Amino acid sequence: MRALLTLTCAGQFMVLLDNTIVGAYVLLVAMLLLSGGVFADRFGRRRVFLTGVVVFTAASVVCSLAPSIGWLIVGRVFQGVGAAALSPASLALLAAAYPAPRERVRAIGLWAGFSGIGLAAGPLAGGILVEAFGWPAIFLVNVPIGAVLLLAGLPVLGESRNPSAPPIDVPGTVLSVAGVGAVTYGLIEGGSRGWTSPVILGSFAAGLVLLAAFVVVEGRVSTPMLPLRLFRQRLFTVSNTAMVVVGFALMGSSFFFSQFFVYVQGTSILVAGLRTLPTSLAMVIVSPYAGRFAARYGFRVVVSIGLALAGLGLLALDSVHADTGYGNVWWRLAVVGIGFALTMSPLTGAAIQAVSPQEGGLASGVSSTTRQIGAVLGVAVLGVIVHTRESGGASFGSGLNSAFLAAGAVTLACAVFTGLWLTAARTPRGVRGEQSGGQAVGEPLLTAPRSRPTS
């Protein structure tokens, strides 16, 4: 069990570390994550995980040796495909290996903790590798990690799948990939092309139409890739909604942390990366305990406290400026890291806990997709805030302050939202607990789920 936990966490860390070092493949990852989770449930989580490792590692070699921009793009495309298979399959493996709710939440806590660490450590790792070894190093760093994952995973990982998984929903798969891709492309390119440009407006319009068609198709086909019934479960819907906010605030603000030190306080890229360490270290220290806290006190309490801390930390960054000493900055970054470390794993655990064990890959894909879309949305929206303030005559530092203020306000609002709604609905006939193994209303996750009585 420990070996499986280590391997799946390491795989997720590799994917998200590369996600923050170079963000070009974010589009493809966002497009394919949901499909990757569905494929893992149907064709085998071990098979999809190891296939993703092989593709991602081989693509990293291609990127590092790319003789032209064309080859680099090809390598990044295949990295995105590998990441979209590897990430949801790793979480689905954990969900299948830990059927008891309390142990599952703790395991997911470590997995989500490595996700947060990878997100936060990316800017630092990228700065160190580029300055010390040049740009190819940011891709080569994946090769030894991938080799270890493959060699260790072949004898250790056991296969699991959903024996009742339906056939692949081709129309749903095509519509989801195209719809998410169009919206994500608009968010990524809107800042450079202009938010009112025909290409960006057309991208958003096409994405919304495709996603609306996806919802219609999924409601009518007999074997949908994303059963809409899942969203009738409050725990699943609220946890994924909150995950959008976590991606928005964590990735959006982290993108600007190093820019504050470089462009406002005038440090080098390497020093800026080192100065963002409090966020990463806080996640390293706190993340292993987040799952335990969720198992003991319940998802709602831990998530709401975490979001409140993260929001307050981001609001505190609104007052930093060029002359603020580092002694008065680091603790604000640490509070942000502590807050998001407490939030990510319980939210992921809640999404997994709300579905049946056979649908672990699907739930993982949905959770990863919502976080990824939130991350792209955060960078785009906070970037617009910074640009708008600069266009109005404010300094870049003032624009960053406004961006941190907006991220903090959204995070605090989400803390209130989860405090009110991050619970499983009560089941009828006086039975506590969710029919699919979810957490009862406000109840710590201490015992195995009880099934709904039959009529």
Q: How confident is the model at residue 50 (pLDDT cuts 50, 70, 90)?
A: very high
Neighbours of 428 (CB within 10 A): 9
Lowest mean pLDDT segment, chosen from 330-334, 397-401, 421-425? 421-425
Residue 122 pLDDT more than 70?
no
| pLDDT single digits (tens) 327-336 | 999 999 999 9
Task: Please give the pLDDT value at position 108.
Answer: 76
Task: Please name the amino acid found at residue 213.
Answer: A
Task: Please give the pLDDT value at position 446.
Answer: 38
Residue 433 pLDDT more than 80?
no
Closest CA to 179 of 292, 25, 32, 392: 32
Mean pLDDT of 54-76: 88
Burial of 370 (0-12, 13-18, 19+ CB in 10 A): buried
Neighbours of 131 (CB within 10 A): 13
Rounded distance between C-alpha atoms, residue 431 and residue 343, angstroms: 28
Task: Please give the pLDDT value at position 117.
Answer: 65
Lowest mean pLDDT segment, chosen from 125-134, 361-370, 398-407? 125-134
Rounded distance between C-alpha atoms, residue 148 and residue 167, angstroms: 33
Helix/strand/coil percent split, the chain, to 5: 80, 0, 20
Q: Tell me the percentage of the chain whose pLDDT exceeds 90.
A: 35
Residue 344 pLDDT more than 70?
yes
- At 35, give phi and psi (nearest 5°): -65, -35
Rounded distance between C-alpha atoms, residue 4 and residue 10, angstroms: 10
The most confident of the ranges 42-46, 100-104, 214-218, 355-359 is 214-218
| pLDDT single digits (tens) 81-121 | 998 898 888 888 887 888 777 777 777 777 766 666 666 56
Task: Please give the pLDDT value at position 410.
Answer: 97
- How far does Cα 320 stand from its chain's mean position? 28
- At 19, give phi and psi (nearest 5°): -65, -35
DSSP class of residue 264 equals I
Mean pLDDT of 377-397: 91
| Separation in Å, CA 340 to CA 78, 116, 304, 337, 411 | 30, 8, 10, 5, 10
The residues, any chain, with a CB within 8 Å of residue 219's CB and separated by 6 or more, are 228
Q: How confident is the model at residue 290 (pLDDT cuts 50, 70, 90)?
A: confident
Residue 450 pLDDT more than 60?
no
- Helix axes of 234-246 and 396-421: crossing angle, nearest 10 degrees: 170
| pLDDT single digits (tens) 235-275 | 999 999 999 999 999 988 988 988 999 999 999 877 887 89
**What distance, in Å, lies between the first and last C-alpha atoms of the chain?**
37
Neighbours of 394 (CB within 10 A): 15
Rounded distance between C-alpha atoms, residue 120 and residue 140, angstroms: 20
Rounded distance between C-alpha atoms, residue 313 and residue 375, angstroms: 18
Q: How confident is the model at residue 434 (pLDDT cuts 50, 70, 90)?
A: very low
Mean pLDDT of 302-307: 96
Please give the torsion angle defined by the CA atoms of residues 332, 335, 336 and 341, in that order, rounded to the nearest 10 degrees. 160
How is 435-455 classified by DSSP, letter by letter? TTSPPPTT----S---PPPP-
Q: Are 398 and 389 in contact (CB under 8 A)?
A: yes
| pLDDT single digits (tens) 166-210 | 788 899 999 999 998 899 888 888 878 888 999 999 999 999 999
Task: Please give the pLDDT value at position 203.
Answer: 95
Q: What mean pLDDT is reported for the chain?
A: 83
The three-state (H, E, C) secondary structure of 119-170, written as one string: HHHHHHHHHHHHHHHCCCHHHHCHHHHHHHHHHHHHHHCCCCCCCCCCCCCH
Rounded distance between C-alpha atoms, residue 88 and residue 12, angstroms: 9
Tokens of 347: 């939210």
- At 141, give phi and psi (nearest 5°): -60, -25
Mean pLDDT of 130-148: 78
